[in-house]
Structures are given as structure tokens and as C-alpha cells.
Amino acid sequence: MEIYLVGGAVRDGRLGIPVKDRDWVVVGATPEAMKQKGFRQVGADFPVFLHPKTGEEYALARTERKQGRGYHGFTVYSAPDVTLEEDLKRRDLTINAMAEHEDGTLVDPFNGLADLEQKTLRHVSEAFAEDPLRILRTARFAARFHPLGFTICADTMALMREMISSGELEHLVPERVWQEVQRALHEKSPTVFFKVLHDLGALDILMPELANTERFEAGLQALQCISIQDSTTAQRFAALLSALPEPEASARATAMKSPNDCRDLARLLCLLTGWLSQYNGADLPPENVLDMFDQADLWRRPERFELLLATLTCTPQQQHVQPLKLAAESAQGVSPQALLKQGFKGKELGNAIRNERLARITQALAP
């Protein structure tokens, strides 16, 4: 039994990046032998074990064979006769296909260290083409390491274009696509992820609403702006879709099976930017502002409204942020309890609340 540190931990260690997670490959072992040493097996598709003390993952060396279309079309073979090189060969990029022996000796059969030094993202073998998810993973690594000067090599770009032409990308399930998109939104340079997919023609399949160059560029500008702030996934996703008409943004967010907070913020931002675009350089009508506050549920979801305005600062309608903020703060000061004490009840109370909010909004928006 031989144990090797593999993948990202080896890569990041060589780059001088803090290592967050460590993964291990075990060569020459069986599930029974692992269990005897106190490891706990997890995962149904192939033998992965948790270390009894550290909780780190130890996977038996394995190979994969393509059996169908998409991400799940694989059969896995794991046995003591699988070599370390065979295990590393099934990985995506050469910089992720390095291993370290327990004594620190580097095992690098696919020249990952050279590509690391040359800042190149290169596929390990033609087996890369068997998994369409690797297109998104490669784009995500490009987004992560772009600040360090990494680029995708021409051969890998060509291979990914072939994969897209073959229709492989259309077999990815929305949940897996969203998982990669969500991760990419929080990489060092998230816009690079979408630029790579756009250059490959993959965005036409995954997010066709952004195929329009003007919308795409506007979305990237908004995403770049919000990504340098301490922003949430929902804000970043909404910024990316901010140039779309609301129905298209909502449809895409739903089709991608994004979480509810992401769908809601994207919908509200696109509604807001679409409405505000009518008033560039003009005063906002107080009644329409109040209607918008109602639609955004400002009264019960003030925290979400704050996220909405913060994201709006990264769009062409940013000049409206301060007036809307002042109007919202003023309208939120209306006290239903105070109006109840004045004798308002039922429908009259609702009208009184609305009238008072409208009066405060009007005053806040006054020149």
C-alpha cells in the first residue's frame, strides 16, 4: 500500500498558495484493507475513505471508462493493480495531475510542473473529452489563476470546441452547471470564466440570453464591479444578468435551477434596471417608486433591498441609487402602530400607511 498527496494540494503548494484541502490516493489497497486500518468508507460510486483522525479523503486508485453521454456516463474500475500514473491520467489538467509521495518526492508523469511554471492550463489526455463538465472546470481554473498570468493552451481550447460541436455540453444537468457557475462567480477573476465560455461558443448553449454582445459586455462590467465588493452569490449572479429583460433573466435563472435568493434578486434587479432606464436624467415619479418598493417587499425584506441597491450601483442606472436609498429610508419610518392609535382600522389603515409613505417619498425625492 502506497499513499500519495494529489491534485490541488500539490498544485497550490508549488504555487505558494495556502492549501485548504488535501486529497490522497492509495495505490495497492482494497476496501477491506482500508477498513482494517480504521478508515470509514463514503461514496457509492467508487471507494473513498475518511481518515480516522484527520477526516481527510483517501481514494483508492481508479480508472474510468466512458459508457454514455454527459457527466454520469462512466464506469469506474478500482483495484490494487491500478497504478498511480493510470489514476493521474484520468484527471483534467496537467497541473492537477501531480502527486507527492509521503517523503515529498514529486510524481509528475504529465509534465504538470512545467505547465505550472509556464502558467499554462493543458488537458492531460484525450480522455478529457469524455466529460463535458471539464469545459466549465477549465474555464473556472482560468478565472482562478488569471491574476497569476495563466492562460488555456490552444490545443485544449481546440479540444473543448470539438466537444461542444459534438453536442456533449447539452447533456449536462442544470444542477451541475449551476454548481460550476456558482463557484466561478467567487473566483479571483469571475468574468474570465464567462469570457472563456463565450469564446468557445459554450455560452450560446448554457446561457443563450447572453449571446448578444451588448448584453454580455454590460453583464461582465456589472459582475466585475460587484465582484470587487464583499458581495453574495445572488448579487453576482444578478449583476451578470442585469442587462436582460426581466422575463428572460427569470427564465434563465429558473432553467439553471439557481437558488431562490439568486432568482429573486436577478428578477428584481432586471425589473428595476428596466424601469429606471426610462428615467435617465429625469425625476422619478413618487407613486411609481412606492409601487416598486411594494414589489421589492421593502417593508418585510429590507436586507434584500439593501443588496438590490448595492448591486444597482454596478449598472448604468447607478445615478438613481442615492435618491432611492433616501426615499426608502424615509418611507420605512412610517409607523403603522402610530396610525392605529390615531383610530385608523382595516382598509382605512392600509390607505393611511400608503399615503404617509407616499408623502415621505415625495419629500425625499424633491429637488
Is 211 a residue whose pLDDT tops 90? no
Q: Residue 330, CB half-sphere, CA atoms under 13 Å: how many?
A: 22
The per-residue pLDDT for range 288-297, each reduced to its tens digit, is 999 999 999 9
What local confidence, expressed as pLDDT, does residue 164 receive? 96
- Greater confidence (156 vs 348) lies with 156
Per-residue pLDDT of 130-144, as tens digits, reads: 899 999 999 999 999
* For residues 318-338, average pLDDT: 91
Q: At what angle do helices 260-276 and 286-295 cross, to 10 degrees?
A: 170
Handedness of CA 105, 103, 125, 140 (dihedral sign): negative
Considering only CA atoms, which of 97, 3, 98 is closest in space to residue 56? 3
> Alpha carbon 18 to chain centroid distance?
21
Q: Is a pLDDT exceeding 70 seen at residue 68?
A: no
The position carrying cell 457509492 is: 44
Q: pLDDT tens digit string along 340-367?
A: 777 777 788 878 889 999 999 999 998 8
H helices, E strands: number in the chain: 18, 11
Residue found by looking up cell 443563450 in the block: 208
Give the pLDDT confidence score for residue 69 in this predicted structure: 54
Sign of the torsion angle spanned by Cα atoms 214, 220, 226, 229 = negative
Q: Which CATH superfamily is domain 1-115 in?
A: Beta Polymerase, domain 2 (3.30.460.10)
Residues of the chain with CATH 3.30.460.10: 1-115
